[in-house]
Structure 1
């Protein structure tokens, strides 16, 4: 799944001051594990979860689990 984060955007980690890189990361959310491409700090491994992902795909997962 691609989160449509523009790779040309220069995101810098606030903590480490390193340029974030687009990486495949494992995300745990509501008991489920998902592989997602996110911008990640190469040093501390913190990621950016953009608004589209938070309000789109993650909300879909949440609603799907509520329906069960």
Structure 2
């Protein structure tokens, strides 16, 4: 569960100095294309994937696709 501080935290793109916004983003892995909501810079399009997602959902998807 996220604390109030984490929920209210604003991530900033280091390159553009813009606030990241939640946006549907295409993620491609092993020829599979997934649409997921991720934090993204509105200017340069750089996506931020937090550690929880990288070690959780994305790792599960990677394992499932690699096992096929």
Q: CA RMSD in A?
A: 1.8
Aligned residues: 64
Q: Write 1 or 2 for the structure with the bigger share of helix.
A: 2
TM-score (normalised: structure 1): 0.80
TM-score (normalised: structure 2): 0.80
User: Quick check: which has more Rg, 1 or 2?
Assistant: 2
Higher relative contact order (CA 8 A, sep 6+): 1
The answer for unaligned runs of 5 or more in structure 2 is none
Q: Give runs of ≥4 in structure 1 deviating > 6 Å.
A: none
The answer for unaligned runs of 5 or more in structure 1 is none
